[in-house]
Structure 1
Amino acid sequence: MSDSVHKLSIAQNLIGRGKISRRDFIHLGLAAGLTAVAADKLFDSSARAAPLQGGFAKLGMAHGATTDSIDPAGYPDTFTQTAFSGSMSNSLTEVDAKGSVQPDLAESFEPSDGAKKWAFKLRKGATFHNGKNVTADDVVTSLRYHMGKDTKSAAKSLLDSVADIKADGPETVVFTLKSGNADFPYIMSDYHLVIMPTKDGKADWASGVRTGAFVLENFQPGVSAKLKRNPNYFKNGKPYLDEVEFLSITDLTARMAALSTGEVDYIGRADLKTLGMLKRNPKIEIIEVTGYGHYTLPMNVTMAPFDNADVRQALKYAINRQEIADKIFLGHAAVANDNPIAPAIKFAMNPQPQHSFDPEKAKHYLKKAGLQNLKVDLSVADAAFAGAVDAAALIRETAAQCGIDVNVVREAEDAYWDNVWLKKPWCASYWSGRATADWMFTQAFAADSSWNESFWKNPRFNELLVQARAETDEAKRAAMYGEMQQLTHDDGGSIVLVFNNFVSASSNKLAHGEVAPNWENDGLKMAERWWIASV
């Protein structure tokens, strides 16, 4: 290695610490045989690769409503999930960029008794924002907050399989399950199941005191949440940012403009139609991740006409999913088939037949239901997913060819998740997906789940859900999950349109490592994981 190349290598390590200027680095690069352009690019890449402490970032979220709360029983969208779970709080575990479960507030977890018992050992020295040590009792009360017949928590169904939780000393929590579950550590990473301090024997969610990388400074529902760095965070060196502010920008055009003008440093759910223009801006990075996300049109199967399985089948054949994928998602989504288990998830399969646009089959099922034609309302807003309104317009056109009159009701963006989802008979929705089949099915399709958006209660499906969770034979388990996916396809009330990529955009002011695919915004952890680039 020549002396010039050696000096350049040393200089690369100094960039991230702000110890060498761009100009001096380019001079070293020229001496080492690089062109000025190549040396300049090497400076930028080296600067972005080295995490720096400090700085303030403004992050534009695609959601947010005046009804938002810091109560983890809810967290219906990316604003509350990213700001209050991913930034302010910790669960016992987390899912990494490879889709594997890792310890978070827990230091380790071990199964016993055929995975019917799980012992989670807490990290030593982990504290709440108020300085109080995190104990096993805090974990027990935090999780019991989501259990019991009176809870309003969306995570209730996830913990229905838990027979008992108890503290075994100050640092160990033992879960006893009703049956074995090898995937249980994944469940413990759910963004609702954050750990809170105990007050008067109950979980104190209202104080906003948590364990996470950031401490809440100010929250205006439907507007913004501002947080500052937790100086006593148990993850050494994190977070990198000193402050972060989450802004609710539900309007897509306004969100894109906010990034272009520098009002924010990042936006979730970039506009796919203008993505090409954005890519030409050298100061902006497009971040696209293939994860488990999917866009749905849930029908309430307890209400007419959706209580008729033949009507549901007719509607599934009245939609041209490929046209929607091509025209609305422009190559950033793959056609789905009324199965919520993404292809990358273990035990995923593609049920048959493929539900593609077929007017004759749609009419056949209408006739089977005793109908010549049908009129239904479809409630949508781009708060559900960017392009939902345009997708509904295409559905109206294709359904008309099948004798189905779809009246598209454009709902208000604000409080869509409070006023429309789980309220209107047929609407648009989205799921970030889950890392295991059991988790996805338990939260979105189990009979008694509060987030069972189609209110579907299929006895065979729910029987298999319990059996598959406890089955240790991989082949038998695969067969069970295969049958469950076929049941959602054939009988279920949720039309799964596409598996969508997560597409966001960032100013080159921000830098990051590998982006996690399990949820949007780097697995909801972007505030903890990202940093200001020294460029």
Structure 2
Amino acid sequence: MKDALKELERLFELGRLSRRAFLRRAAALGLAATLSPTLMPRQAHADTPKRGGRLRLGLNGGATSDTLDPGIQLAMMPQTLVYGASGNSLVEIDADGQPVPELAESWESTPDAKKWIFKLRRGVEFHDGKSMDADDVIYSLNWHRKEGTKSAAKALVESIVSMKKEDKYTLAFEMESGNADFPYTLSDYHLVIGPKDTDLAKGIFTGAYVIKDFEPGVRAFCTRNPNYFKSDCAWFDEIEILGINDVNARTNALKTGQIDVMNRCDLKTVHLFKRMPGIQVMRQDGFKHFTFAMRTDTAPFDNNDVRLALKYAVDREQLVKTILRGYGRVGNDHPISVANRYHASELPQRQYDPDKAKFHLKKAGLSGTTFKFHAAEAAFKGAVDAGVLYREQAAKAGITIDVVREPNDGYWSNVWLKKPFCAVFWGGRSTEDMMFSTAYARGVAWNDTYWDHTRFNELLVAARAELDEKKRRGMYAEMQHIVRDEGGVVVPMFSADLAAASDKIGHGKLAANWELDGFRAPERWWFKS
């Protein structure tokens, strides 16, 4: 009973339960008499959620190539629409960074984490009225495993050997090897569940809002799902998502009341935003980082001395100060954040060292080489300025960098994964395994450096199955070391997420796994009045 009360208090603190719902559920559990005024939980922001209204979000990342296919979500606008507004996964990540049931009701594993049993929630309906069951889950997960798939989640689910329907609402998973983080894996925003035998790109899901109109890269409009299985969220009647890639246009739209929420504030002017009446600025510190990706299958980046030269040629402190305006921290050429469980804090921080950069480039026999660095504001706000600053820093090592400014539209389809050296945005992942499996494992779709390291790939599989905490930590530390010294990516900085909204918007404690409350602002937030 104590555990049940603790869970109710947690949901209340997050704004996921109204006061009335909290008391009703406590009474149902026979716990109401145990509550005293001094023990009553305090809901974040103290505002009781109210139903109604249209939430208008102005987001970057929209492109004409956007799709509703959950497996091919590249940027903020479609991610918020598909995962944040209209879809659900088996598991979601709460504001404390923990996996909690969503379409799954519960789960358990064998001691070796090789076999998992998931109980599914009953009474869940898709937007077309069909009831969800185990067949739909199997179909949706296989969507990312089918032959020829372009899904970024393929690497996350390919270690599943079998999925067996034990009954209508029970699924048994058998893994290739143990996976202690499997519930986290199933929270990934690509793994949205849709109805069996349908094209998932049609956007028929189980989420809080039903997609009524979708113009790729421009606008999406949704209405509240009247049959949504979560009773204590989905406060808005309607959701409108506008693709506004220019940060100045997003800022002006919020100032003039054309939108209620914007993501990725301009760090140059956010201090002015903070003083503006009627506006609230929200900060999340999590896993987001910016990278300079080098294709290791393409000369000259197939030479590790070249990669080391370019890693030593960047002044991270200056980038954090100038580009992030202090809203972040330096990176160490690997993607694991200090917020991650197994972050290797003992790994020495790489420093700006023009002499070492010059040494490694000379060792590669490529002194005097000009490197073309491709960037656009679509990659991240300040990406072009970061490239220019990087060029100036590298020049002190005798390295010439030519910054190529690319168009914002189509950056993720025409530049990323194609150009040999470019600026990249990563939202990060809740676990080391998810991050490494998504972007650093051999042959995965989003391995944007085309890196293939035998020892790293062996450790990736071994660490996933290792249940001894000390051994597992050591494995992930070694992997971070390998990526830092032999990988194809410069990771100069981790950035805080800064969003802004009308002060009429209420919310609970913010989840930091992805932007805008883990993409779930449409479901979790509300109008105060």
Q: Which moved more, 1:93-102 or 1:148-157?
A: 148-157
When Rg is computed on C-alpha atoms for both structures, the one with the higher figure is 1
> Which of 47, 53, 66 lines up with 1:49 in the alignment?
47
Which residue does the alignment assign to 2:114?
Answer: 116
Partner-residue secondary structure (3-state), 1:185: helix
Equivalent residue runs for 1:464-503 within 5 Å: 464-503=459-498
1:165 corresponds to 2:163: yes
Q: Specify whether residues 324 and 454 from structure 1 end up closer, same or farther in structure 2 by C-alpha distance, changes over 3 A only.
A: same
Amino acid at match of 1:505: A
User: Is contact 2:279-2:500 (8 Å) kept?
Assistant: yes
Shift of residue 282 of structure 1?
1.8
The amino acid that maps onto 1:146 is H
Task: Give the corresponding residue for 2:175.
Answer: 177
Partner of 2:370: 375
Q: How many equivalent residue pairs? A: 490
Alignment of 1:155-234 (within 5 A): 155-199=153-197, 203-234=198-229
Give the SS at the match of 1:234: coil
Give the 5 Å matches for 1:1-150.
49-112=47-110, 114-150=112-148
CA distance in 2, matches of 1:459, 1:230: 48
Asked whether the equivalents of residues 380 and 409 of structure 1 are also in contact (C-alpha less than 8 Å), the reply is yes
**8 Å Cα contact 1:456/1:493 also seen in 2:** yes
C-alpha displacement of 1:352: 4.2
Look up the match of 2:522. 527
Measure how far apart 1:530 and its partner are: 0.4
Over the matched positions of the two proteins, sequence identity in percent amounts to: 49
Q: 1:426 aligns with which of 421, 438, 449?
A: 421
Is 1:515–2:510 an aligned residue pair? yes
Which ranges in structure 2 are unaligned for 5 or more consecutive residues?
1-17, 21-42
Counterparts of 1:383 and 1:365, CA distance in 2: 31
1:345 pairs with 2:340: yes
SS in 2 for 1:175: strand
Distance verdict in 2 for CA 1:92–1:309, change over 3 Å: same
SS in 2 for 1:429: strand
Q: Which moved more, 1:486-495 or 1:468-477?
A: 468-477
Q: Is the Cα contact below 8 Å between 2:45 and 2:508 reproduced in 1?
A: no
The aligned counterpart of 1:330 is 325
Aligned 8 A contact 1:16 1:51 in 2: no
In structure 2, C-alpha distance between the alignment counterparts of 1:102 and 1:400, rounded to whole Å:
49
Distance 1:136 1:353 in 2: 47
Contact 1:140/1:165 (<8 A) preserved: yes
| Alpha-carbon contact 1:130-1:209 (below 8 Å) kept | yes
- 1:321 pairs, out of 316, 320, 324, with 316
List structure 1 segments (4+ residues) > 6 angstroms apart after TM superposition: 45-48
Alignment-derived partner of residue 281 in structure 2? 286
Residue 302 of structure 1 is matched in structure 2 by 297
Is 2:367–2:399's contact at 8 Å kept on the other side of the alignment? no
Residues 407-418 of structure 1: pairs in structure 2 closer than 5 A: 407-418=402-413
- Please tell me whether the aligned partners of residues 69 and 202 of structure 2 are also in contact (alpha carbons under 8 angstroms): no
- Give distance in 2, aligned partners of 1:463 and 1:514: 38
Residues of 2 paired with 1:372 and 1:47: CA distance?
Answer: 57
Query: How far apart are residue 353 of structure 1 and its match?
Result: 4.0
Distance in 1, Cα, partners of 2:190 & 2:135: 18
For 2:277 and 2:428, how far apart are their aligned partners in 1?
A: 32
For 1:356 and 1:453, the matched residues in 2 are separated by: 24
Once the two structures are superposed, residues 397-428 of structure 1 have per-residue CA deviations (whole angstroms, 9 ceiling, x without a partner) of 11111121111011111111101110110111
Task: Mark the runs of 5 or more structure 1 residues left unpaired by the alignment.
Answer: 1-14, 18-44
Alignment CA distance shift 1:433-1:139 (3 Å): same
Note the C-alpha offset of 1:174: 1.2
C-alpha contact 1:48 1:533 (8 A) present in aligned 2: no
Separation (CA, whole Å) in 1 of partners of 2:224 and 2:380: 31
Q: Secondary structure at the match of 1:273?
A: coil
| Secondary structure of the corresponding residue to residue 72 of structure 2 | coil
Deviation for aligned residue 1:370: 1.2
Task: After TM superposition, list the pairs within 5 Å mapping 1:253-292 onto structure 2.
Answer: 253-292=248-287
Q: Higher mean Cα deviation, 235-244 or 185-194?
A: 235-244
* Distance in 1, Cα, partners of 2:516 & 2:75: 12
After superposition, the CA RMSD in angstroms is 1.6
SS in 1 for 2:438: helix
Distance 1:286 1:357 in 2: 33
Structure 1 equivalent of residue 40 of structure 2:
none
User: Aligned partners of 1:400 and 1:142: how far apart in 2?
Assistant: 50
Q: How far apart, in 1, do the equivalents of 2:161 and 2:127 lie? A: 31
> 1:243 corresponds to which residue?
238
Question: Which one-letter code corresponds to 2:383 in the other structure?
Answer: A
Q: Which residue of 2 aligns with 1:12?
A: none
**Which residue identity lines up with residue 134 of structure 2 in the other structure?**
A
* C-alpha contact 2:91 2:103 (8 A) present in aligned 1: yes
Contact kept in structure 1, 2:45 and 2:507, CA below 8 Å: no
Give the AA of the match of 1:280. Answer: R
Partners in 2 of 1:388 and 1:180 — Cα distance? 39
SS of the residue aligned with 2:425? Answer: strand
